Amino acid sequence: MSGFNFDVITLFPKAFELINNLGVITKALDKNLIDLNLHDLREYGEGSYRQVDDKPYGGGAGMVLKPEPIYKAYESIRKLPKSKTLLMTPQGKVLKQKDLARWSTLDQIIIICGQYEGFDERIRCLADEEISIGDYVLSGGEIPAISIINGLTRLLPGTLGDPDSLVDESHNSSLLEYPQYTRPITFKDMKVPDILVSGNHEEIKSWRRRKSFERTLERRSDLISNENYKKSPQSKRIIKENNQFMKFRIGNGYDIHRLVEDRDLIIGGVKLHHPESLGLDGHSDADVLSHSIMDALLGALSLGDIGKYFPPSDEKWKNADSLFLLSKVIDLIRQDGWEINNIDSVLVAERPKIMPHIKLMKKNISEILNIDENLIGIKATTNEKLGPEGREEGISCHSVVLLEKK
C-alpha cells in the first residue's frame, strides 16, 4: 500500500471508473499519493444469487440492504492505524470543507455506499460518521463518495502543483472565493477591475478579501454568521475591513408606570411583592421591563412604539400579559430577517428589591425571545430618592438592544 487509502464498499464499482479521468485524482494515482480500492458488495452476497438486499420487516416499498454482506466486506478490509469509516446516507450531517480537512490527516477512509430504499439499521454500528452531501435523496451513495474522494484528494500534500491555491478557495476560510479574471482585459464591454492590473499586491489582497466578504454576504450569509467563522483568526481583520457591509441596528426603549393600590406588581413576567402592596398602573399588566424592551426592538427598525400595536384604547389588550405582547413584537422583528444580538436593561426603583428576581426575569424573557440568557443583561438601581422613582411614585426601565441582519 502507498499514500492515502480509500476503501469503498459499493454495489456499483463501475461508477468509480469515471473518477480515474479526473485531473486531480489521476495525478494522485499516478504519483502514488492515493490508493483507491473498490469492494464489490455482490461478491459478499448470500446464496447462488449473491443476494444483498431484502424486504423490510413491517412491510413497505422497496428493498433494504442486508447487514451480512456489508459486514463481510467491511471485515475483509485491512484497517490502517489512522482510519475512519463513513456511511453515505441522506440522514447524515452535511459535508463541509472542514470535514475534508480533518480527514486529510488520516491514513485511510472506508466509505460504505447506502443504496435502494435504505439499509438495515445495524449497519450503522460500523460507521464513525454518517455523511450527506445535501438535503436531497440520490439513488445511492456512490456520487457522495466520489465527492469525498475528490475533495479530500485535493488537500493531500503533493496533489496540487501550487499548495497556495488552496488558501483562497471557497469555504477554506468560511468565505466564498473572490471574483477572478484572465485575459483579455476587456471582453464584450466587460472590463477587468483596474486594481487587478495595478501591480499593487497589498491593495489587490485587500480588494480580494473585501470582494470575498461581499460575495459571501450576498450569497451565503449563513457562513458569516457561523460561530466557527466568528472565532477564526482571519475574521477580525475581514470584518474590520468590511464593517460598512455588516448590518446592525441599535434601539433604545424607555417606560415608566405609576405605583398604585389594587394592582399586581409584575416585572419581567415575575410577580413581586411591594412592602406597601402597590402595583404598576397600566392598560396591560404594566410590565415596565418588557415594555421598554419592546420599544427598543421597534425603535431599532423605526417601527414606532408599542402604543401603535397595542393601543390603550383597545380593550383586547386590557390586563394583557406583556410577555405575550413581547412575543408578538419579536415575530414582527424576525419577519425581515433580524435577530437579537444582545439586550441591556436598567430598572429604576426604590422598592421592592429587584436583584433577587433578576435570574427568573432573564429566564422568562429568554424563553419568549428564544435567545440565550447570556444575551440579556438586567440591572437594578435606585434613584437616590430623586424624581418620581425616588419618591416611590413609580418604577421605570431603560433598555438598549442590538439587532443583526441574518
Q: Output the DSSP codes for 65-124.
A: E-HHHHHHHHHHSPPPSSEEEEEEEEEEEEP-HHHHHHHTTSSEEEEEE-BTTEE-GGGG
Average pLDDT over residues 344-356: 97
Q: How far apart are CA 363 and CA 209, in angstroms?
A: 40
| Residue 170 binned pLDDT confidence (cut-offs 50, 70, 90) | very low
Does 159 count as an annotated binding residue? no
Average pLDDT over residues 159-188: 74
Ranges in the chain annotated CATH 3.40.1280.10: 4-153
State residue 219's pLDDT score: 84
Does 291 count as an annotated binding residue? yes
Whether the Cβ atoms of residue 287 and residue 268 lie closer than 8 Å to each other: yes
Q: Which residue has the higher pLDDT, 379 or 218?
A: 379
Pick the CATH number of 167-245 from 1.10.10.10, 2.60.40.10, 1.10.1270.20, 3.40.50.620: 1.10.1270.20
Say yes or no to pLDDT of 1 above 50.
Answer: no
Among candidates 171, 180, 166, which has minimal Cα distance to 220?
A: 171
Average pLDDT over residues 89-101: 93
Does 133 count as an annotated binding residue? yes
Does 114 count as an annotated binding residue? yes
Ranges in the chain annotated CATH 1.10.1270.20: 167-245
Ranges in the chain annotated CATH 3.30.1330.50: 248-405
Say yes or no to pLDDT of 243 above 90.
Answer: no
Say if residue 324 is exposed, middle or buried (CB neighbours under 10 Å; 0-12, 13-18, 19+): middle
The Cα angle at residue 134 between residues 132 and 136, in degrees rounded to 5: 100
Does 391 count as an annotated binding residue? yes
Does 333 count as an annotated binding residue? no
Whether the Cβ atoms of residue 329 and residue 292 lie closer than 8 Å to each other: no
State residue 168's pLDDT score: 53
Does 344 count as an annotated binding residue? no
State residue 365's pLDDT score: 98
Q: Which residue has the higher pLDDT, 159 or 360?
A: 360
Say yes or no to pLDDT of 164 above 60.
Answer: no
Say if residue 273 is exposed, middle or buried (CB neighbours under 10 Å; 0-12, 13-18, 19+): exposed
State in words which class domain 4-153 has. Answer: alpha beta
Q: What percentage of the chain has pLDDT greater than the value 90?
A: 72
State residue 241's pLDDT score: 57
State residue 96's pLDDT score: 93
The answer to whether the predicted template modeling score (pTM) of the entire model surpasses 0.85 is no
| Residue 166 binned pLDDT confidence (cut-offs 50, 70, 90) | low
Whether the Cβ atoms of residue 115 and residue 69 lie closer than 8 Å to each other: no
Average pLDDT over residues 205-210: 87
Say yes or no to pLDDT of 167 above 60.
Answer: no
State residue 244's pLDDT score: 47
Average pLDDT over residues 214-240: 67
Count the helices and strands in the chain (H runs, E runs): 13, 17
| Residue 23 binned pLDDT confidence (cut-offs 50, 70, 90) | confident
Grouping H, G, I as helix, E, B as strand and the rest as coil, residue 206 is: helix
Among left, alpha and beta (phi > 0; psi -120 to 50; other), residue 165 is: alpha
User: Which CATH number applies to 248-405?
Assistant: 3.30.1330.50
Q: What percentage of the chain has pLDDT greater than the value 70?
A: 90
Say yes or no to pLDDT of 74 above 90.
Answer: yes
Does 384 count as an annotated binding residue? yes
Average pLDDT over residues 219-236: 64
Say yes or no to pLDDT of 291 above 50.
Answer: yes
Say yes or no to pLDDT of 262 above 60.
Answer: yes
Does 307 count as an annotated binding residue? yes
Does 134 count as an annotated binding residue? yes
Does 357 count as an annotated binding residue? no
State residue 75's pLDDT score: 97
